[in-house]
Amino acid sequence: MSYDEDREDLTLYKVVINRDEQYSIWPAHRENAPGWQDAGMQGLKSECLEHIKAVWTDRRPLSLRQRIEATSSVSD
């Protein structure tokens, strides 16, 4: 089976988020991959990607942000 790039993708997607606050999209009809949960947005691929672009303003994983915050509060 080949993918036709010119064919419009009408798949319904959902935005998912992991415990490190990283976002992705997943087909809405499929069960989430382990470690991922729904982030409350469904739509076409382009809509979901635009939503992620708007809400995921700090691309650093949560664990890294917490480590940096802990380090900076120790040095204050």
Per-residue pLDDT at 62: 81
CATH number at residue 56: 3.90.820.10
- Which pLDDT band holds residue 9 (cuts at 50, 70, 90)? confident
Residue 67 domain boundaries: 13-75
Q: What is the pLDDT of residues 18-71, one digit of tens each?
A: 999 999 999 999 999 999 999 999 999 999 999 999 999 987 878 887 788 888
State how far the Cα of 14 lies from the Cα of 12, in Å rounded to an integer: 7
pTM > 0.85: no
Question: Is 4 within a domain?
Answer: no
Per-residue pLDDT at 46: 96
Q: Measure the N-to-C terminal CA separation of the chain; round to a whole number of Å.
A: 59
Question: Is 21 within a domain?
Answer: yes
Question: Is 1 within a domain?
Answer: no
DSSP secondary structure letters along 37-58 = EEEEEEE-HHHHHHHHHHH---
* Structural domains of the chain, count: 1
